[in-house]
């Protein structure tokens, strides 16, 4: 997984330099970025297919590719933070996760491994179920901050029909006056990795997809944190509703969120 992420990330890092030059072109960089996204996904697909030829895929661009139903599948986002990439902002990531099938054969179960790779900073966040979360060879732990007024919280703001903006405003209004700060950096995979690393104390967002969160959710859990939907339910992959944080912050943020959505 790390080999595939780094191979795709190296190409994205080179392409990112070209995007900065394309900002001044009449056509703009959109077509170039779309091509870079597809090439990165193909690179990851080829690497993982060679390693595990009977596993299936859930890919952001190409969709679902079925494999042996008794074997795991890969969940891949080749470029999380596309808008940042498009505008020359150096904050984006490659996200890859492995998810096992349910024992009863009905759908998919736990995510058992995940990698989030930031090409610009050359940071590899990775986790395996029951083996912990890591940044390179350093063990990750969620922050120990328990007071809301010490908490730095990340979010993603709904745009162009993605997510529920009125709901987001309610949650923001509940959290904003009580926390130390709220950040919106534009990559859910990195937001979750940074919760796992203790850089953020909490994170919430709606309207995401499994490839945005599969690796990041495992990172948070293996770093000692909690990831649920807005009802407090822990899912193998939380995507349409995500609330993450350490034990104390998740509990306090969830209470605020529930109260805000009742109004």
Per residue in 171-219, pLDDT (tens digit) is 999 999 999 999 999 999 999 999 999 999 999 999 999 999 999 999 9
Report the distance separating Cα 88 and Cα 100, nearest Å.
36
Contacts of 53 (CB under 8 A, 6+ apart): none
**Measured distance CA(53)–CA(37) in Å, rounded:** 22
Mean pLDDT of 12-24: 76
> CB–CB of 175/167 below 8 Å?
no
Q: How do residues 122-176 score in pLDDT, each as one tens digit?
A: 999 999 999 999 999 999 999 999 999 999 999 999 876 667 889 999 999 999 9
Q: Note the pLDDT of residue 29.
A: 57
DSSP output for 21-78:
HHTTSSS-SHHHHHHHHHHHHHHHHHHHHHH-TT-EEEETTTEEE---TTS-EEEEEE
Q: What is the pTM of this model?
A: 0.94
β-sheet with 56-59: strand ranges across: 63-65, 56-59, 73-80, 93-101, 108-118, 123-128, 132-135, 138-139
59 to each of 52, 84, 179, 193, 239, how far by Cα in Å? Answer: 16, 20, 36, 20, 15
């Amino acid at each position: 997984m790390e080999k595939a992420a780094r191979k795709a990330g190296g190409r994205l890092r080179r392409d990112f330099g070209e995007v900065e030059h394309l900002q001044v072109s009449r056509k703009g960089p959109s077509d170039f970025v779309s091509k870079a996204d597809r090439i990165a996904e193909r690179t990851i697909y080829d690497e993982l297919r060679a390693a595990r030829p009977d596993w299936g895929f859930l890919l952001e661009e190409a969709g679902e590719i079925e494999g042996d139903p008794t074997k795991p599948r890969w969940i891949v986002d080749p470029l999380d933070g596309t808008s940042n990439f498009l505008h020359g902002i150096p904050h984006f990531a490659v996200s890859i996760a492995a998810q096992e099938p349910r024992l009863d054969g009905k759908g998919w179960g736990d995510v058992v491994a995940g990698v989030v790779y930031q090409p610009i900073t050359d940071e590899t966040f990775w986790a395996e179920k029951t083996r912990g979360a890591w940044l390179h060879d350093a063990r990750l732990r969620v922050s120990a901050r328990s007071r809301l007024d010490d908490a730095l919280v990340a979010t993603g703001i709904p745009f162009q029909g993605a997510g529920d903006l009125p709901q987001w405003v309610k949650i923001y209004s509940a959290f904003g006056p009580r926390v130390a700060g709220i950040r919106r950096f534009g990559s859910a995979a990195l937001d979750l990795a940074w919760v796992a690393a203790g850089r953020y104390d909490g994170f919430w967002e709606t309207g995401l997809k499994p490839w945005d969160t599969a690796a990041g959710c495992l990172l948070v859990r293996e770093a000692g944190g909690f990831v649920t939907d807005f009802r407090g339910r822990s899912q193998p992959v939380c995507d349409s509703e995500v609330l993450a944080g350490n034990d104390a912050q998740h509990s306090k943020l969830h209470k605020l969120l529930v109260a805000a959505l009742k109004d």
